[in-house]
Amino acid sequence: MPGDRAGPTPNMTEKFIVGEMFKADVVKQLEGDRLLAQSVQASMEAKLQEITVEKSRAQETLQKSSALEGELEILRAAQEAAKTETLTLASRMDYVTNEKIVLESELQDLLSQKEDLDVRLRESEDKYRELLRTKNELENKLYRLLGTCLSGAEAIVQKSIEDVDNPALSAVKCSPDYFRSLTEPVLKLLDEVDSSFHDFNSSSSTIEPLVRSVGQMAHSLANYLIHGKATSNISPDIEFGESIEEVCKLVGSGAVTLLRNMKDKSKAADVLGNVAAAKARSG
């Protein structure tokens, strides 16, 4: 009827169906696109994560590389320092080596000089020993000569002591004044003996003054003793005359002791006392 709503026509139904099918295809297509987009997004996120990890690793590697570069620079600096030190040591070694060569050369020269000096020293020692032997021989000869001189002087004085008791000289006379005048020469000669003996002990080359003073002292003392005997012979007082003789014999005995001690090196220190005693008795 006119005015009533008409039902769907076949064309509208087909269009609806086609539209629904198209809509379904679109939805399906959109779903597929959505899933694809999700897949792509997931893939991109995974790739991004991977890139982030790689970047982190790269940064870490870069940091390590920077650290290694720093260490390498330090090692290079140390290497340069080592090279410099090596060159310095090499230079020092060259200097030390040259110094060693110079010192070895000087040492060889010194050793050569030492050998020469050793030879000269041995020669000098041999000469010294020879001179010492000769000196000892000469000193022994001088001491024997002095001993002979002292023994002769002792014999002269001893003979004069014996002559004091010799009755054969009872007739010999001498004035007291002359006898007293003989005292000073005796004392002077005793001093000369003491002085020359001291010099001889210091140097055996001074034997001549000692021999001369000993000989003169012996003869002067012998003359003194004989004139003492002669003076005692004219004394009116027998006891006084005998006392003069005793004093003369004591003076002579002191002189003999002096001469004997002069022959004995171990008693050289007693000579001064012997001289003093002889002078005291003579005075």
Asked whether residue 139 is assigned to any structural domain, the reply reads no
Q: Is residue 83 part of a domain?
A: no
Residue 48 lies in a domain: no
Six token digits for residue 138: 């000469």
Residue 229 inside a domain? The answer is yes
Tens digits of residue pLDDT in 153-210 = 999 999 999 999 898 888 899 999 999 999 999 999 999 999 999 998 888 888 999 9
Query: Residue 66, Cβ neighbours under 10 Å: how many?
Result: 10
Task: Provide the residue count of the chain.
Answer: 283
Cβ-contact 227, 174 below 8 angstroms = yes
Task: Quote the domain boundaries for residue 159.
Answer: 146-282
Residue 41 placed within a domain: no
- Choose among 214, 216, 219: nearest CA to 156: 219
Kindly report, residue by residue over 87-128, the tens digit of the pLDDT: 888 888 889 989 899 999 999 999 999 999 999 999 999 999
- For residues 273 and 269, what is the distance between their CA atoms, to the nearest angstrom? 8
Read off the pLDDT of residues 10-19 as tens digits, 9 standing for 90 and up. 677 777 787 7
Predicted local distance difference test score (pLDDT) of residue 155: 96
Q: Would 266 be classed as within a structural domain?
A: yes
Q: What percent of the chain has pLDDT over 90?
A: 42
| Domain-located, residue 232 | yes
Distance CA 131, CA 137 (A): 10
Tokens (6 digits) for 77: 């600096």
User: Is residue 31 predicted with pLDDT exceeding 50?
Assistant: yes
This prediction has a pTM of 0.55
CATH number of the domain to which 194 belongs? 1.20.1420.10
Please, is 254 exposed, middle or buried when counting C-beta atoms within 10 Å of its C-beta (0-12, 13-18, 19+)? buried
C-alpha distances in Å from residue 38, one per residue of 30, 41, 45, 53, 275: 12, 5, 10, 22, 151
User: How many structural domains compose the chain?
Assistant: 1
Kindly state whether residue 168 falls inside one of the protein's structural domains. yes
Residue whose tokens read 């000869």: 141
